[in-house]
């Protein structure tokens, strides 16, 4: 099927990424000949288990963990749910959860449904953010209480790329005997993470955000952390996650993690430079454009820019004509007329929040692509503004 992948300028990598060709190669044998079940007694199946353990080691190496601390899951969302629900079952008398107002729907909507899911009433503290998307640690400290079962704070925001001080926050939670979970889906592979030097108890990651397939994720569970499985079934993953392993995708994730370790440097130099060129170019060539998010405490690949007095959806449609792929807010929140909960939490004015576009790059982007986007965007915004009732010759 020709889906046009050779024509697109793909700058939507926080929504999903291209599967690396090396990852496809590593997976192929397990989608064809090597179809045995790793739990089988015979060599044909059992040998597959050895490759799963190699993949587990590669994931562990990328984040400075032990292989025993890596549990394969079906996605980042499952990992998030598993960690939070486990902590609440571990401490049934603690009914308080601390999180933020800018979490991905995987955490946000779980927290909104906790009372229904557990049959208990919970108190949720959703920490506000500053206008640049950063957190106030003083407020965080004040939120922690004897009743807090778990803190769940993302490592990096999917919409703005803003990075939170999760290591500091995890240390503060540990001092008080509170479990700490981080949704690191956007951070893993983009910035260095070392679990040996932090106090994070649970960490979620997802394959399809780092050039592995969709439908595979990991929950890191620190050795010694109390844990109650979400999926009960067979003894897979040492009894911590039932269900026959998604073998090919797990192998693919392992390969993607070893690649990510190799490419981390490039991500933080070449990709960062492309992102910076794109960002500076757009902000300087398009009037009334604003950066959403802290200028430096940010992932190297992400920029979120508001073009005032135009609709994000309309901008995307015009970009689509040039085969430029990006997002307005989060892919999960588009389709509703409300501006993204992340930009609202940051207090981005209504007229700007509606015209926000997230560009998220990867190692597969080139300078020619950035130049092309820089060439096309001013015209797109200008044309849309000419049609906007709120825009008159550059004056709001």
* 73 counts as binding ligand PLP under rule CB under 6 A: no
* 340 counts as binding ligand PLP under rule CB under 6 A: no
Q: How many helices (H) and strands (E) does the chain have?
A: 14, 12
Distances (CA, A) of 387 to 214, 352, 375: 39, 16, 21
* 76 counts as binding ligand PLP under rule CB under 6 A: yes
Nearer of residues 153 and 380 to ligand PLP, judged by Cβ:
153
Residue nearest to ligand PLP (CB): 76
* Segment near ligand PLP (CB under 6 A); pick from 133-141, 183-191, 233-241, 254-262: 183-191
Q: Which of 209, 211, 241, 288 binds ligand PLP (CB under 6 A)?
A: 209
Question: Which of 103, 96, 49, 56 is CA-nearest to residue 76?
Answer: 103
Nearer of residues 72 and 309 to ligand PLP, judged by Cβ:
72
Distances (CA, A) of 311 to 24, 314, 337, 354, 388: 38, 5, 10, 5, 9
Q: Note the residue count of the chain.
A: 396
Which phi and psi angles does 184 have, rounded to 5°?
-105, 25
* Catalytic residue, candidates 34, 257, 325, 332: 332
* 217 counts as binding ligand PLP under rule CB under 6 A: yes
Q: Which of 9, 52, 75, 195 binds ligand PLP (CB under 6 A)?
A: 75
Residue showing tokens 């079962």: 149
Cα(247)–Cα(142) distance, integer angstroms:
44
- Determine which helix (DSSP H) or strand (DSSP E) holds 73, and give its type and residue range: strand 70-73
111: tokens are 């927290």
Cα(190)–Cα(192) distance, integer angstroms:
7
SS3 314: helix
* 206 counts as binding ligand PLP under rule CB under 6 A: yes
Helices (H), 91-180: 105-112, 114-118, 137-143, 166-175
Q: Per-residue x/- marks for ligand PLP, 121-160, CB under 6 A?
A: ---------------------------------x---x--
User: Minimum distance from CB of 351 to ligand PLP (Å)?
Assistant: 27
User: Minimum distance from CB of 77 to ligand PLP (Å)?
Assistant: 3
Check if 111 is active-site: no
Residue showing tokens 């995307």: 316
* 362 counts as binding ligand PLP under rule CB under 6 A: no
* 282 counts as binding ligand PLP under rule CB under 6 A: no
66: tokens are 């032990």
Cα(116)–Cα(63) distance, integer angstroms:
34
Nearer of residues 207 and 312 to ligand PLP, judged by Cβ:
207
Count of residues that interact with ligand PLP, criterion CB under 6 A: 15
* 358 counts as binding ligand PLP under rule CB under 6 A: no
* 77 counts as binding ligand PLP under rule CB under 6 A: yes
User: Minimum distance from CB of 87 to ligand PLP (Å)?
Assistant: 17
What is the DSSP secondary structure assignment for residue 332, as one 8-state letter?
A: T
Q: Are strands 123-127 and 96-100 parallel, antiparallel or unpaired?
A: parallel
Please give the span between the terminal C-alpha atoms of the chain, in angstroms, as a whole number. 46
Nearer of residues 181 and 288 to ligand PLP, judged by Cβ:
181
Nearer of residues 341 and 385 to ligand PLP, judged by Cβ:
341
* 183 counts as binding ligand PLP under rule CB under 6 A: yes
Nearer of residues 204 and 258 to ligand PLP, judged by Cβ:
204
Q: Which residues in this chain contact ligand PLP in the complex, by CB under 6 A?
A: 14, 75-77, 104, 106, 154, 158, 183, 185-186, 206, 208-209, 217
Q: Indicate which residues carry an active-site annotation.
A: 332
């Amino acid at each position: 099927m020709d889906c046009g992948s050779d024509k697109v300028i793909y700058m939507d990598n926080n929504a999903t990424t291209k599967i690396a060709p090396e990852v496809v190669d590593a997976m192929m044998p397990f989608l064809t000949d090597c179809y045995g079940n790793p739990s089988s007694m015979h060599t044909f199946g059992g040998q597959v288990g050895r490759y799963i353990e190699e993949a587990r080691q590669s994931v562990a190496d990328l984040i400075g963990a032990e292989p025993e601390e890596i549990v394969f899951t079906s996605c980042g969302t499952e990992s998030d749910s598993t960690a939070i629900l486990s902590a609440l079952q571990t401490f049934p008398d603690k009914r308080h959860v601390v999180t933020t107002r800018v979490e991905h729907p995987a955490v946000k909507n779980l927290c909104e449904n906790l009372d229904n899911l557990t049959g208990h009433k919970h108190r949720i503290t959703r920490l506000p953010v500053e206008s640049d998307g950063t957190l106030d640690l003083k407020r965080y400290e004040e939120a922690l209480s004897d009743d807090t079962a778990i803190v769940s704070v993302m490592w990096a925001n999917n919409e703005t790329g803003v990075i939170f001080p999760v290591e500091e926050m995890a240390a503060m939670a540990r001092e008080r005997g509170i479990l700490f979970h981080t949704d690191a889906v956007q951070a893993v592979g983009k910035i260095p993470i070392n679990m040996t030097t932090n106090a994070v108890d649970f960490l979620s990651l997802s394959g399809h955000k780092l050039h592995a397939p969709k439908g595979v994720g990991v929950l890191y569970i620190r050795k010694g952390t109390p844990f109650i499985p979400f999926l009960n079934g067979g003894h897979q993953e040492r009894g911590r996650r039932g269900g026959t392993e998604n073998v090919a995708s797990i192998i693919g994730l392992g390969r993607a993690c070893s690649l990510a370790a190799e490419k981390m440097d490039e991500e933080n130099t070449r990709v960062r430079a492309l992102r910076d060129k794109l960002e500076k170019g757009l902000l300087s060539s398009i009037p009334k454009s604003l950066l959403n998010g802290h200028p430096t405490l940010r992932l190297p690949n992400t920029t979120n820019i508001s073009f005032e007095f135009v609709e994000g959806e309309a901008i995307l449609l015009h970009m689509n004509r040039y085969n430029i792929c990006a997002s307005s807010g989060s892919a999960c929140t588009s389709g509703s007329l409300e501006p993204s909960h992340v930009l609202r939490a940051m207090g981005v004015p209504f007229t700007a929040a509606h015209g926000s576009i997230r560009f998220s790059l990867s190692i597969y982007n080139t300078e020619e692509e950035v130049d092309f986007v820089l060439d096309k965007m001013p015209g797109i915004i200008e044309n849309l503004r000419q049609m906007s009732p709120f825009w008159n010759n550059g004056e709001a």
